């Protein structure tokens, strides 16, 4: 296995400088596109309802992620509590909306990473990391000298600030954002972020610039690159055709997981078009749209169908 690039940044002192820069950002927080401008180091809370320390719901080897992340031993997931989006249909609403989880120290977070590595996981999968970038960098500064050597997966909702992503260049090995919507009105209504399509497009471009198309080792396990998730919503709300065209414009070799497991959760029934599950016909049509747009690398794991 290739050594992660973050080792060089740690040895040169650049990782420490990036962590210090991230701490300055959360003093007037602009880690994500909301730019709440609160001082999280002083206990002020913005839209993500988070302070300076990491808040973790759970961590464990995960066998239900994309096949290229799971491999034989699982993806080492760390689920951060809260979120910088407000998706009314979130299937993890107890974590993202209701705040299920505990505030932990940077040392604790580093220990979780090392524990997952010791259990044989192929990567450290940081779930909902956007609002926790500072905490992640601080934990890495502790975990790396203690022996951390696994690739890092940035598993976000796609609502990421380019300036924050630039801090992560050479640190994150695999970017795995959602690409939820192509329509501004839909994004505003369903996730509280009308500028989501533009911000996600800019974030995807920056992620691809940093890591390129997804690469795998001889075992079929991802080592570096971009992997995009797109959840098919009922009644065409996700705008799959437009999303696929944008991803194909980025690269026809963009690795995509077209996800079929939508079900009405949390406040989804507030939107008439979200009150039922996605049909098999809608899912098949979404895959065909992606193929027609020119995409050709699809995750081979179908999930969610009973």
Helices (H), 233-306: 240-250, 280-293
User: For residue 303, is it within any domain?
Assistant: no
The kind and range of the H/E element at 204 are helix 196-211
pLDDT at 303 over 80: no
- Which CATH number covers residue 240? 3.20.20.70
User: For residue 49, is it within any domain?
Assistant: no
SS3 194: coil
User: For residue 290, is it within any domain?
Assistant: yes
What pLDDT score does 245 carry? 98
**Range of 129's domain?**
6-40+55-298
d(CA 7, CA 40): 28
pLDDT at 262 over 80: yes
User: For residue 46, is it within any domain?
Assistant: no
The tokens describing 79, both together, are 């689920």
d(CA 75, CA 63): 7
Euclidean distance between the first and the last CA atom of the chain, given in angstroms as a whole number: 37
d(CA 254, CA 17): 32
User: For residue 304, is it within any domain?
Assistant: no
Alpha-carbon radius of gyration of the chain: 18
β partners of residue 60: 77
Q: What is the pLDDT of residues 104-123, one digit of tens each?
A: 999 999 999 999 999 999 99
Report the half-sphere exposure of 106 (CA within 13 A, side-chain side): 16
Of the candidates 42, 22, 23, 26, the one whose C-alpha atom is nearest the C-alpha of residue 34 is: 26
d(CA 190, CA 123): 31
What pLDDT score does 3 carry? 86
Question: Is residue 128 within 8 Å of residue 98, measured between CB atoms?
Answer: no
Q: What is the pLDDT of residues 37-60, one digit of tens each?
A: 999 999 999 999 999 999 999 999
Please state the domain count of the chain: 1
Of the candidates 71, 145, 156, the one whose C-alpha atom is nearest the C-alpha of residue 114 is: 145
User: For residue 305, is it within any domain?
Assistant: no
d(CA 272, CA 214): 37
Where does the pLDDT of residue 301 fall: very low under 50, low under 70, confident under 90, or very high at 90 and above? low
User: For residue 34, is it within any domain?
Assistant: yes
pLDDT at 305 over 80: no
User: For residue 1, is it within any domain?
Assistant: no
What pLDDT score does 304 carry? 41
Q: Is 276 exposed, middle or buried (0-12, 13-18, 19+ CB in 10 A)?
A: middle
d(CA 136, CA 146): 15
Residue 305's CB is within 10 A of a number of other CB atoms, namely 10
């Amino acid at each position: 296995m290739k050594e992660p690039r973050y080792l060089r940044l740690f040895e040169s002192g650049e990782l420490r400088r990036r962590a210090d820069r991230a701490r300055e950002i959360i003093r007037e927080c602009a880690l994500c596109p909301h730019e709440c401008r609160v001082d999280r180091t002083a206990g002020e809370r913005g839209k993500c309802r988070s302070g300076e320390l990491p808040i973790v719901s759970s961590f464990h080897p995960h066998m239900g992620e994309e096949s290229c992340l799971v491999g034989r031993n699982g993806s080492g997931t760390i689920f951060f509590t809260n979120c910088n989006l407000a998706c009314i249909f979130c299937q993890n609403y107890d974590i993202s909306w209701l705040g299920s989880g505990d505030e932990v120290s940077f040392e604790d977070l580093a220990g979780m990473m090392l524990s997952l590595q010791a259990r044989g996981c192929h990567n450290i999968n940081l779930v909902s990391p956007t609002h926790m970038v500072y905490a992640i960098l601080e934990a890495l500064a502790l975990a790396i000298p203690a022996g951390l050597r696994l690739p890092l997966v940035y598993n976000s909702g796609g609502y990421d600030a380019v300036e924050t992503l630039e801090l992560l260049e050479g640190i994150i090995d695999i970017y795995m954002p959602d690409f939820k919507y192509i329509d501004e009105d839909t994004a505003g209504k369903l996730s509280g972020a009308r500028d989501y399509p533009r911000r996600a497009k800019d974030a995807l471009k920056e992620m691809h610039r940093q890591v390129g198309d997804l690469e795998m080792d001889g075992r079929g396990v991802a080592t570096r690159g971009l992997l995009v998730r797109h959840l098919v919503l009922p009644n065409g709300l996700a705008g799959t055709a437009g999303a696929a065209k944008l991803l194909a414009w980025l690269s026809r070799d963009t690795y995509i997981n077209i996800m079929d497991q939508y079900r009405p959760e949390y406040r989804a029934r507030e939107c008439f078009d979200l009150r039922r599950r996605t049909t098999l016909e809608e899912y098949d049509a979404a895959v065909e749209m992606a193929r027609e747009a020119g995409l050709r690398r699809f995750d081979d794991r179908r999930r969610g169908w009973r």
